[in-house]
Structure 1
Amino acid sequence: MRATHHLIAALSAAALSVAGLAACSDSGSSGASSGDAGSSGGGDTYIAVVAKGYASPFWAAVKSGSEDAAKDLGISITFNGPDTETDTPRQNDQLNQALVKRPAALVFAALDSTAQASVLQQFKDANIPVVAFDSGVPGSDIPVTTVATDNKAAAAKGAEELSGLLGAKGKVAIICHSQTSVTGQDREQGFRDWIAENAPDVEIVDVQYNNSDQAVAQQQAAAILQAHPDLNGIFATDDDGAVAAAQAVKTAGRTDAVKVVGFDSGAPQIELIKEGVIAGSITQNPYQMGYDAVKTALDVVNGKAPAEEFMDSGFYWYDATNLEDPEIQKAVYE
């Protein structure tokens, strides 16, 4: 809600002035990581996109949206990200490579905003505007705006759908992917807030955190089901948790009694929705996120300031009834 080429790892000092003139038409070159990619689109304006990842379906959808924006707007972009979402040093390398190429703007999703503060300051010092996306750059005032999912609103939609499935009464549990990340906190809180305000007869009986470990999440879901034989529903805040909860419900033979609502997408979760084990899920819109982030960066380059500090890239509720809709198909990531 992740084919490769490589950017130039370093340029000689004598070539820097040439790079400043030629960055808009650079098509990428060799490097050291499969997370590097060449340019897309065309035109005289070049924007560098550095994501938190590269190989996963989520980031592939972000990349597709970014590339389509470049084509539609007549500009060039490069899209890079580390192979794993824990490789901050590699992402720093990619930021430095982008800085050397002197893009008109940087579109960036930070793995570690503290570790990347100094290189972002170099973009600011070079008068290169930064547009953040996905989780943004927490704690930094350098990005002019952040394009991301409104996770509280998305989770509230999950709460609304689950409550509807239960007739606005019953016992539910939350399987949360993180107690410390902003996304985990926002999704849990968004779910809780909607239930408290709109479904007083729905009781949240347990919350478990699993750090996106599907095996742990499945153990937690099984334990919840055992502890609460009258449980009516489970809300999972990411794809791993949704699949884990569904598998636990299947194993317990309670697919009719316990409704599972998930978050994100992915092939296993989609298959479980088709089977009817997961009632439905909230998908982010990574394609639109990538598209809007590049478009916003170009607006900034052209002197149009973003209207807001946060720009919602949107989300959808999807289930077996609308899974084949074109807009849903563009948003889900398998």
Structure 2
Amino acid sequence: SQASIPLMMQAEQADIPVIAFDSGVEDSDVPVTTAATDNKAAAALAAKRMAAEIGDKGEVAIVAHDQTSVSGINRRDGFVQYMKQHTPGVEIVDIQYGGGDPLESTDLAKSILQAHPGLDGIFGTNEGSAIGVVNAVQELGKDGDLSVVGFDSGAEQINAIKSGLMTGAITQDPIDIGYQTVKAAVAVINGKEVPPVIHTDYYWYDKSNIDNPEIQSTLYR
């Protein structure tokens, strides 16, 4: 998103309104508004579900996709803040950053699991991170020993949830993101004011609701 700032500034200089969506653009006031998932709230829901799965106590860790993007920061912080505020019996023992790369995330998750053999859960903050965690759990023979919660979807993550390897995940709503982005653009063109941030829908999905039409429409494979 940082790479787009010079182009957005050109648009601004030409009096062309810029509408951002999805990850947003940190440290830029050029976009009139940003249509995106409330990643802090969504990650808090992931934390709530994991806490319930492990009985509101134990040790958990995070494999995040990065610590620089808006989504990476907010998903990490939303998860951490929920656990600290609502589940004092849960301790976050490690946070690692794998760049969203499944292979790197696998290695990081394996290191975490080896350092904390009694770990109760790991949160992967995007598809690549979550798949890395699943791979690590399988490679170390820890299937069923801990709760794995992810973010986004993709065929591997969907299969892991259906098979029981993962507890569940958060899915964004790409249809709503697109709709709200276009709606905001039309409003701005017509001279109407829009809020600086438009929060779009997100959902928790697991084995119990993954086949519901409302959930299916938000998942990609």
**AA aligned opposite 1:207:** I
The reply on whether 1:181 has 2:69 as its aligned counterpart is yes
Alignment correspondent of 1:201: 89
Aligned equivalent of 1:120:
11
Question: Aligned pair 1:303/2:191, yes or no?
Answer: yes
How do residues 147-296 of structure 1 correspond to structure 2 at under 5 angstroms? 147-296=35-184
> Which amino acid in structure 2 is aligned with residue 188 of structure 1?
R
Greater C-alpha radius of gyration = 1
CA distance in 1, matches of 2:185, 2:114: 50
CA distance in 1, matches of 2:25, 2:139: 40
Mapped to 2, the partners of 1:327 and 1:166 lie a distance apart of: 27
TM-score (norm 2): 0.95
Secondary structure of 1:290's partner? helix
CA contact (8 A) 2:172 2:202 kept: yes
Higher relative contact order (CA 8 A, sep 6+): 2
Q: Deviations 1:246-292 (Å, cap 9, x if unpaired)? A: 12112222222111000111111001111100110001111110011
| Cα pair distance change 1:177/1:233, threshold 3 Å | same
Q: Which sections of structure 1, spanning at least 5 residues, go unmatched?
A: 1-109
- Alignment counterpart, residue 130 of structure 1, candidates 18, 25, 33: 18
Residues 102 and 128 in structure 2, CA contact (< 8 A), matched pair in contact too = yes
Partners of 2:38 and 2:55 in 1: CA distance? 26
Indicate if the aligned counterparts of 2:35 and 2:199 stay in contact, CA closer than 8 A. Answer: yes
Query: Runs of at least 4 residues of structure 1 off by over 3 A?
Result: none
Report the CA distance between 1:293 and its aligned residue. 0.6
Contact 2:12–2:18 (CA under 8 A) maintained in structure 1 = no
Deviation at 1:111, TM superposition (A): 5.2
User: Identity of counterpart residues, as a percentage?
Assistant: 47
1:163 is matched by which residue type in structure 2? A
CA–CA separation in structure 2 for the residues paired with 1:132 and 1:281: 25
- The aligned amino acid for 2:205 is Y
d(CA) in 1 for partners of 2:14, 2:157: 39
The reply to whether residue 312 of structure 1 matches residue 199 of structure 2 is yes
Task: Tell me the CA shift for residue 241 of structure 1.
Answer: 1.0
- Flag structure 2 segments of 5+ consecutive residues without an equivalent: none
SS class of match (1:178): coil
Shift of 1:132: 1.4
Determine the C-alpha separation between the residues in 2 that align with 1:295 and 1:184.
Answer: 26
